[in-house]
Amino acid sequence: MSPIKSALWYAASGVPVLPLHTGLGGGRCSCRRPHCDRPGKHPRWHPRLITAGLHQASTDADQVRRWWAAWPEANVGLRTGIAVDVCDVDTDSGLHLLRDLVGDLDDTPLVQTGSGGLHLYFAASGAPSRVRVLPGVDWRGEGGYVVAPPSIHGSGVPYRWIQHGPAPPCPPALLRLVVPPPPPPPPVVRHPGRYASAALDNEAKRVRWAPVGERNNTLYRAARSLGRLAAAGLLDPYDIVSALTPAAIAAGLGPAETARTIHSGLTAGRRAGTVGAMPA
């Protein structure tokens, strides 16, 4: 089937089409750039015909005819993520990994690419395009496109259909790899009540003004008392450490001693697990 007939067939099937440059063999591209890094794979451009590449991919038959009237040998690009997604397998080991993951692929539409890889067509899943979902396996979904038969690869080898048929849903095991995990929930921000806030301020003041000889004991008792509030969910341990540490340093305790004493007091207070009376 000619490029124009193929492009119209894809468009009639609901897959948006765009014209691509054509491979000329030997790694050369119809764009004529001497060092083209994507021969036969990048969109064509014309100030009156197509300027936005992928974003102008269309299923409109008249538009498709205008493009291929201008470039009869243009390769056919298919926008993914709208009607179909494509699993792009570049290596034999990638294919083995894919088969181990999803099992039988005998009913999946299959294209052999010009480089010898495979394109497996699935119904659009809503998943984004991703690289290396498995070693040697990429995913072309939303925001992506693929080169379709009968396009010519930069090597001069055409893309060809091996297996036709309706695109099935993406197998769940593969979809779990393709869809990124949801973002973690936002951290819980604790807002201490007036009683807890007052307790935190009072204990920090006691530590700051503790007399020589009582500084370490005062710090321990403060951390233990506030640890009980932490166990009750009324204070965040981070806030306790943040309040007591500068108070202890200002009182004359060293950083290492301060850290050990706060940790010991907090541990004891949280083990108690109840809100007790503030120490006298």
Burial (CB count <10 Å: 0-12, 13-18, 19+), residue 27: middle
Looking at residue 167, its pLDDT comes to 95
Looking at residue 278, its pLDDT comes to 39
Two structure tokens written together for 208: 């700051």
Looking at residue 275, its pLDDT comes to 41
CA separation for the pair 60, 135 (Å, rounded): 37
Closest residue by Cα to residue 242 from 223, 264, 267, 257: 223
Two structure tokens written together for 89: 């397998």
Closest residue by Cα to residue 74 from 151, 144, 165: 151
What the chain holds in terms of domains, given with CATH numbers, is: 3-178 (3.30.2250), 194-272 (no CATH)
Strands (E), the chain: 17-20, 23-25, 28-29, 75-79, 84-89, 110-112, 118-123, 130-134, 137-140, 145-148, 160-163
In DSSP terms, 148 is beta-bridged to 76
73 neighbors 158 (Cβ within 8 angstroms): no
Q: What is the pLDDT along the chain (280 residues), one digit of tens a residue?
A: 899 999 999 999 999 999 999 999 999 999 999 899 999 999 999 988 998 889 999 999 999 999 999 999 999 999 999 999 999 999 999 999 999 999 988 889 999 999 999 999 999 999 999 999 999 999 999 999 999 999 999 999 999 999 999 999 999 999 989 987 777 766 554 566 788 889 999 999 999 999 999 999 999 999 999 999 888 888 888 899 999 999 999 999 998 889 999 999 999 988 876 444 333 3
**CA atoms within a 13 Å half-sphere pointing along the CA-CB vector of 80:** 27
Looking at residue 157, its pLDDT comes to 97
Burial (CB count <10 Å: 0-12, 13-18, 19+), residue 20: buried
Burial (CB count <10 Å: 0-12, 13-18, 19+), residue 32: exposed
Two structure tokens written together for 7: 């492009």
Q: In this predicted model, what pLDDT tens digit does every residue of 125-137 receive, in sequence order? A: 999 999 999 999 9
State residue 162 phi and psi, 5-degree precision: -100, -35
Give the distance between the most distant pair of CA atoms in the chain. Answer: 94
CA separation for the pair 260, 277 (Å, rounded): 24
